Every structure is written in C-alpha cells, then in structure tokens.
Amino acid sequence: MKRFLLIILSLAAALSARAAGAPVERIYVSTDRAVYIAGDAVWCSLFCLDENGRYSNQSAVAYLELVSTDGTAATAKIGLLEGRGAGSFRIPVTTPTGNYRLVAYTAVNAEEEGAPWQAGSRLLSVFNTTSTARISNGVDLMDAGTYERLETPAAAREGAVELSMAARQRRGAPVSLILHNEGVAADLSLSVYHDDLVPPTPENDLEDFRKALPTSIRLRPGARGIPEYDGEVISARIRGTRIQNPEDQSVATLSSAGAPSNLYIGRTEGDDRVSFYTSNIYGNREIVCEVSQLDRREGYIDFESPFIRPEAEGIPNLVLSPAQKEALTARKAALRAEKNLRIDTLTTFMTHRKDLLLDGLSYRRYHLDDYTRFPSVQEIVVEILPELRLLKNRNGQWSLELFYTDAANARTIRSDYILVMMDGVLLSNLDALVSFDAMLLEDIDIYRQPFACGALVYNGLVNFITKKNYVTALQFPANVRVLDFQGVAYPVAYGGAVPEGDGPDLRQLLYWHPAMKLEAQSDYRLEFRAPGYSGRFRVVAKGFAADGKPVSREFTFEVE
C-alpha cells in the first residue's frame, strides 16, 4: 500500500513539474452572431484569461478551429495583445449544414491534457443554401408549426452596463445607441445584427467560464508548455540530403512577399527540425523559405500545421424546418450583395503586434518613374543608385556593395552581410535579380544602418519593389520553397459605414467592435444606419469589467 501511495505521489509530482512554468490560459470566444450561412464571414473577439480571471500577457497568438463530428471545417489564427484578440475568417462555401463548435486555444493549451478550450468555446449554426450536404447524424427535421413556436432562450444579464435606444427604427435611417456604464471600466465586444433565425441554446456563459478557470494545468507527457511570447512559432522539418557546412551561421531563412520586416532566421532543434520565432505574420500571403544546408537537388522543407484538429464534444443537432426557407433565401441574397458592396473595405484596422526588424531605421526610397527608365538592373545601379555597386566576384557570382558615409564624412564600403530583397523576399543568389526585367521595378529602398536579425547583425538592406509583387514568379534554387501561408487575421472593427454602389442595402451585420473600452461611470454613444429592409435586429454586448466580473447585455429592436 505504501509503495502504491509513493507511486501516486511521484506521478503527481511529475505532473506538477511538467506544468511548472507553463501559464494557465483560457480563451472565451465571442462572435458577431450565432447563425451563419456557408460563405459568411465570422467576426471574432477573444478574451484570454489567467487563473485569476485577469487578462493573460503570455501567448501572442491563438488558434481557432470550427469543428463538428465530421471534423474541422475551417481554421484561423488571431493575434493576442495583452490577453485580447480580434479577427475574422470565412466559412467555406462547401461547409455542410449543421451545428459547429468554434474552439480557440494557445500553444500551451494544445499541449494540455483534456479539452481546455471547451468552457470558452462558441456554438455556431451553419446553413448551406447551395448544397444538401449535412453533418452526419447532425440535423433534426421539424415541421413549420412546431418551429415557429420555438422561443429564443433568454440571455444572462450580467454587469453594470445598460443599452438604450428606440425599439423601432426606420429603414435607411440613422440609429443612435447609448451604452451606459454604471460600474467600473469595462472591455466588451459589441455586435448589432439581423436576428432572423432561432439561434442555438447559448452555452458559453461568461460567469460559468470564469468559474471554470483552473488554478493549475496538466501537460501531456513530453510537453514543454512554452508560450508563444512574441508570435507564432513556425515549425518545419528538413527533408532530404543535407550539406554539412560548419561555416553556415543559419540553417534557414523565411521571408514574406510584400513585407520586408517579416524576415526570420531559423533556429535548429535536433538534426531535422527548424523553428522560426515570428512576431506574427499578418494576412494570408506567400512566404519564401530557403534552407542553406540542403542539397540543392534533393533537399526540401516541410512545414508543420499548428492546428490540432480536436474532436467535437457535446454538440446538439441542428433543427431544420421549412419555416426557415424565407430567411435563408434572404441571407443568400445578402451574401451575394455583400460581394458587390465590398463591406470589408469599410472596416477599420485596430492595433496589432508588429515586427520591429526595421522599426526606427531610416531609408532612402528611389521611385524609378522619377528617373530615366533603364532596361536592366545593372544600368539602374550605375546611373541612379550612388550608394550601390553591383559586381561579380572571382567565382562568377554577383554581389552587392553598399557605400556608407559616417558622421565624420568618411566613406566606407560594406560588402559582407548586406541583405538583398525583392518585395520583401530574401535573395541569396543575385542572378535572378540581375536577369529580372527592370521595367517591372517600381521603387528601391536602401537601408544603410546595421541591424540585428536573430543572432546575426547585418550591415544594410536593399529592397527592390516590383509593381505587382512579381517576386514569386522568379526561378528560385531547389533549396527554396514558395508556398501559400495562412497568416494571423488582421484585427478590424466595422463602424456601420454605409456601402456605396449599386444595389439594395441588405447588410446583415450593422455594427461590430471586438474591443470596445468603456470608462467607469460613463456613457458611450455610437451611431450607425439601419439597412434598406425590415426585420428584427439584436444588440449584444459581452466582456469583462476591470474587476474581473462578467458583463453581458442584449437588446432587440425592429426596423420598419
């Protein structure tokens, strides 16, 4: 018996040791609404709390998955800044009809035992209006009469924030909404949307989520539980033949088309793994990765997915009824109209974590249309760029030298550790640059100050900018891989701006702010415009007050 107790105590100590240093993080997911059709955008607000119910400042990125019993239907990455995050993703048009759970987790959560994302997940209903595909055994049919007698469950009323506005509004007229905060400062997500379908039963109650916060966590065997402090850690495995060259100071570089600050030097972990510690690469874009130690004919790099594909738990069946036909037809028409109205261009970018590689560095930009155009890059360097010199070395390879004048007007030449880029993509072999059609170049940015990237210090940077991001059309060596990359979603808010253009105003979402700050004992007034059709609309405010207590309020109004 004593031996059995000792084993149990040893296991408990081991589990505790594994979790030592790993932070407690739990993410509550708030979305602009609860019912969507396939093809809709889902606007998200994330609240990442620690064991004390305060915002966590550990992880800088969260991973989202829209899951059902049939698997994962969509994924997204959302940056976290001091525990708060915002972003959006689109539901694929092929998504089957049914209920889904939107889960959010950090890199530490992904290494925990159990399902740490369950309490803060969001139950969403998705209707596919162009396909009969349904989640396997995930839909219940209901006659129109029974469906019309269903009632929307009453939402919990929490906190000291009140919503005030007229219960009836005219189509196309300005709408004024007042948020009255009688308590301490609060941080909320606020959504105003067309409430046309009975939503699923709300199950991610804020108070229940807060009460479920653990005081400690358990990691899986072998897990390290290290947060992604600055941004996503992109992991990859090196495949194929490797070249053993002790002079190589880096194993791999990763750069992003269109963003010169997104340059990262890979860190090796073992014989075949490399990791890029980023500050979050925003937006879906093409990235270029070069592995210096790979055989140029046989080697390649294989990126690993950060998504864990969790199993769906506790998802009720979706109710499908003929009574929903009119509402779904209107939703389908609104989604088609949204593409023409380009509502995404009316959003406002919010503060997000930025890469500081070139932050604060001065540079000189040469806009080539201001000069006589030359057909070759060599002529441009000679005739327009006095700071640069392009020449071949004794091995027949092209190199770039940078002239630098210091504070004493002493002129020096730097030829080592000069980064050369095209559209933000690192070019280690300048043959592609020299042979590039110079008429496609638009600007050239020259940085002449030393700067650090990873463990290396560079003496300058030259970025050749093309007119339409032509860099990915270059012929790269075999040890370079160009691939589409799912970046972190940009955090945006939609302030209700009225779209311009032809066609009726069929907006389903009238206002969305994922991180609204309310001061203590204050009133906040916002205005938006009612759409061009009649219907019932809902205002939903969710979040937490400065004292950690939940805030939840809802209000419905009619547009006539």
Instruction: Give me the tens of pLDDT residue by residue for the chain, a chain 560 residues long.
Output: 434 333 333 334 334 434 557 899 999 999 999 999 999 999 999 999 999 999 999 999 999 999 999 999 999 999 999 999 999 999 999 999 999 999 999 999 999 999 988 889 999 999 999 999 999 999 999 999 999 998 887 788 899 999 999 999 999 999 999 999 999 999 999 999 999 887 777 778 899 999 999 999 999 999 989 999 999 999 988 776 555 554 544 568 899 888 888 899 887 776 678 899 999 999 998 888 887 666 555 667 788 999 999 998 889 999 999 999 999 999 999 998 877 666 667 788 887 777 778 888 889 999 999 999 999 999 999 999 999 999 888 788 898 999 877 666 677 787 788 899 999 999 988 988 999 999 999 999 999 888 888 778 888 999 999 998 888 778 887 778 888 899 999 999 999 888 776 678 899 999 999 999 999 999 999 999 999 999 999 999 999 999 999 999 999 999 99
Is the CA virtual torsion 470, 473, 477, 478 positive or negative? positive
What pLDDT, on the 0 to 100 scale, is given for residue 17? 37
What pLDDT, on the 0 to 100 scale, is given for residue 472? 76
What pLDDT, on the 0 to 100 scale, is given for residue 479? 76
What pLDDT, on the 0 to 100 scale, is given for residue 16? 43
Contacts of 222 (CB under 8 A, 6+ apart): none
Q: What is the rounded distance in angstroms from the CA atom of residue 55 to the CA atom of residue 47? A: 7
Contacts of 5 (CB under 8 A, 6+ apart): none
Q: Is 106 helix (H, G, I), strand (E, B) or coil?
A: coil
Burial class (CB in 10 A: 0-12, 13-18, 19+), 136: exposed
Q: In the chain, list all ranges with CATH 2.170.130.10.
A: 364-471
Residue 44, amino acid: C
What pLDDT, on the 0 to 100 scale, is given for residue 271? 67
What pLDDT, on the 0 to 100 scale, is given for residue 477? 76
Tally: H helices and E strands in the chain: 6, 38
pLDDT tens digits, 316-338? 999 999 999 999 999 999 998 87
Q: Say yes or no: domain 364-471 is CATH 2.170.130.10.
A: yes
What pLDDT, on the 0 to 100 scale, is given for residue 409? 67
What pLDDT, on the 0 to 100 scale, is given for residue 294? 64
Question: Which helix (DSSP H) or strand (DSSP E) does residue 74 occupy?
Answer: strand 71-81
DSSP letter (8 states) at residue 59: -
What pLDDT, on the 0 to 100 scale, is given for residue 8? 36
Contacts of 232 (CB under 8 A, 6+ apart): 60, 61, 77, 278, 280, 281, 306, 488
